[in-house]
Structure 1
Amino acid sequence: MKQNVVINDKTILVTGSAGFIGANLVYHLLSIPHVTIIGIDNLNDYYAVSLKKYRLGILDKESEKHPDTKYHFIKGNIADSKIIFHIFDLYHPDIVVNLAAQAGVRYSITNPDVYIESNLLGFYNILEACRHSYDDGAKGVEHLVYASSSSVYGGNKKVPFSTEDQVDHPVSLYAATKKSNELMAYCYAKLYNIPSTGLRFFTVYGPVGRPDMAYFGFTDKLRAGKIIQIFNYGHCERDFTYVDDIVEGILRVIQGAPERKIGEDKLPIPPYAIYNIGGGHPVNLLDFVDVLQQELIRAKVLPQNYDFEAHKKLVPMQLGDVPVTYADTKALESDYGYCPKTTLREGLRKFAEWYKEYYM
């Protein structure tokens, strides 16, 4: 059973609000009347800060169109407990969506410190603030929704990936921190009765995305006439999920929190849930790149006679990567009516058109 959570007239804290998914979520929340949205992001330089500021500029313009909605952006790091507790003391958020995290599998191999700071310490601060939101009988946080990742499945060979599968063997520190988030959230749900839902995202793509993602990096290199490397000799499959479908799923999940119940031992049954959120249709990477280059030519990012075969190289699997990701989304469909609608070609067409506008 889910506890209905009404968004209207609520205050929603979105961490990582200048990030790819975070900014898109805030953009959609702005269209809901009588909502107060608090965004926080540290605007780090993992990738171009100019792209994050571009997203924030879009949000500023969009917020002007919705006078019934209040929007505040705070530059800050969720690893700074003083900032987080100040936000909770000042705004008393009803709903928290924690999307702030250091992303990237490969980056975690060479830069582990930032993952510990943001993904572990930062998430701990969010949990502690949620816990203390109930102090002195206050209503507190109604629902904590947080980002996990398909990376937690590691090298699991059984597909599609189910939340019932064991995920005890991560192949990157990034994956380990995301699995840790799930364990931490479960513990806080059990101890402090915090309704929490984790979402395991599967390869999110779209306009104004992250430049470190493969489709974005491929585009940069193809446009520059460089060779793109396709790992595992092309035998990789990814469950690509368009960002608008992800946001639609998040909005649905926000409005249905795990129900608080007391068990036979008179202690709370953890109001806790985990879901996969993906496209549900894995695509071979070679097929993905083929559609991408077609759409880049259509958008005139690449010339009509572009020799794609001369600009690709099949190479072995790289450290920390996995051959297949494939989401079993039946639970999300059953509980929330989630159904991704954007085809791969539609999504890549929108990305290519945005890329042309932004970079050329």
Structure 2
Amino acid sequence: MILVVGGLNGFIGSNTTEALGEQGQECVVTRHDNTEVPRFLQKHIDRRHVFIEPADATSTADLRRIGEKHKIDGIVNVGGGFKAESPVPGLKGYFDMLAATVQVAVEWKVKRVTFSSTGGVYLGVQGQADEEQPILLQSPFPILAYQKIVEVAANEFAKKTGISTICVRLMGMYGPFDGAQLGLPARLVHAAVAGVAPNLENVFFGNTDDAIDLCYVKDMARAIALIQTAEKLQYDVYNIASGKPTPNKELVEAVKRVVPDFKVDLPPGHFPFPPLPPVETKRLQADTGFSPRFDTRSAIQDYVDWLKAGNPK
């Protein structure tokens, strides 16, 4: 049974839980304060393939209680995003989450732990980036610094324990259950379905001439599930992405094809920030056989259908 930390209410966690359920895996997902259940998980809960347990991801005691009820042999930790007005509480949240996860992983003798990281570590890299790309220590945002800490800690944990410990660098995700709606795809699709003008404030790489590697969350979640359940992996870091840049002009046209009366004018030129390059996914393809099932148009259609079905995010 696989424990998904941050699995019930999180954007990545909920979709990853669904992907594991579609593989036939049994999962335990944690919830903290929010008790909302994503509609796409309900069938797996009804079939008793997914079990919900209350837990604070930073609490070893909470996670241990889950292990007392369920036989856990793998962990996917996609928790994070600890919000704080000063760096110390945010950093402490990541350290406590890491400590709790690795402690129970050792106690339960799990086969594998998978931690989420971010393709944002490649900010400023020219050309296509792969997992061998040297990463700068300096980070423009706290979240990038914290994710780098997770990667370093995961590597040390694997060396000390022999437990397969993987970091997945996630790139350009969008789709159902994205509550934050920080990226351009979510802003455009929500606005198109609601019949309103999109909010384009503070959208990174949201200008007319920008293009970044976008990956629909259903594909991303399936890739995480494939990595977690693979019999053998050759590496400890994997990029999860589409492997190609999607121009914003193409994204806008895809939304207009699905919602023909949608209108938007993106800011001109490029977003004034170091580039976010497309990434190589050869490792992922070789070790799991993964390839995306959604292109831009089919992803937008699926996302629009999800929202039109009455789902709020």
Name the TM tier (shorter chain). Answer: 0.7 to 0.9
Aligned 8 A contact 1:205 1:240 in 2: yes
> 1:337-352, aligned counterparts within 5 Å?
337-352=289-304
CA distance in 2, matches of 1:255, 1:160: 28
Aligned 8 A contact 1:148 1:182 in 2: yes
Equivalent AA in structure 2 for residue 197 of structure 1:
I
1:209 CA displacement: 2.6
Equivalent AA in structure 2 for residue 217 of structure 1:
R
CA distance in 2, matches of 1:359, 1:97: 26
Deviations 1:122-178 (A, max 9, x none): 122101221233xxxxxx101111111101122222x21111011123322111111
* Aligned twin of 1:175: 144
| Identical-pair percentage | 19
1:348 CA displacement: 0.8
Pair 90,236 (structure 1): closer, same or farther in 2 beyond 3 Å: same
Alignment gaps of 5+ in structure 2: none
Counterpart check, 1:313 vs 2:287: no
* Aligned twin of 2:197: 225
Counterpart check, 1:288 vs 2:251: yes
1:187 CA displacement: 0.7
1:216 CA displacement: 1.8
Counterpart check, 1:75 vs 2:79: no
Pair 115,24 (structure 1): closer, same or farther in 2 beyond 3 Å: same
CA distance in 2, matches of 1:196, 1:163: 15
* Aligned twin of 1:60: 42
Which of 24, 27, 30 aligns to 2:18? It is: 27
1:54 CA displacement: 4.4
Deviations 1:282-321 (A, max 9, x none): 1122332332233233xxxxxx3x4433xx4348746xx6
CA distance in 1, matches of 2:198, 2:289: 43
* Aligned twin of 1:300: none
CA distance in 1, matches of 2:198, 2:105: 48
Pair 251,227 (structure 1): closer, same or farther in 2 beyond 3 Å: closer
Pair 210,314 (structure 1): closer, same or farther in 2 beyond 3 Å: farther
Aligned residue pair count: 305
Which of 26, 36, 43 aligns to 2:26? It is: 36
Alignment gaps of 5+ in structure 1: 1-10, 44-48, 134-139, 260-270, 298-303
Aligned 8 A contact 1:195 1:258 in 2: no
Which of 272, 277, 284 aligns to 2:240? It is: 277
Per mean C-alpha deviation after superposition, the further-off stretch among 330-339 and 214-223 is: 214-223
Counterpart check, 1:16 vs 2:1: no
CA distance in 1, matches of 2:264, 2:218: 29
Which of 225, 246, 249 aligns to 2:220? It is: 246
Larger Rg: 1
Aligned 8 A contact 1:240 1:282 in 2: yes
1:113 CA displacement: 5.4
1:81 CA displacement: 2.2
1:100 CA displacement: 1.3
Pair 273,343 (structure 1): closer, same or farther in 2 beyond 3 Å: same
CA distance in 2, matches of 1:287, 1:166: 31
* Aligned twin of 2:75: 96
Equivalent AA in structure 1 for residue 255 of structure 2:
L
* Aligned twin of 1:193: 162
1:272 CA displacement: 5.9
1:323 CA displacement: 2.6
Equivalent AA in structure 1 for residue 264 of structure 2:
F
Deviations 1:21-41 (A, max 9, x none): 2212222333455x5321013
Aligned Cα RMSD in Å?
2.8
Equivalent AA in structure 2 for residue 177 of structure 1:
Y
Aligned 8 A contact 1:143 1:257 in 2: no
Aligned 8 A contact 2:209 2:268 in 1: no
Pair 282,114 (structure 1): closer, same or farther in 2 beyond 3 Å: farther
1:200 CA displacement: 0.6
Counterpart check, 1:152 vs 2:121: yes
Aligned 8 A contact 2:216 2:294 in 1: yes
Equivalent AA in structure 1 for residue 103 of structure 2:
E
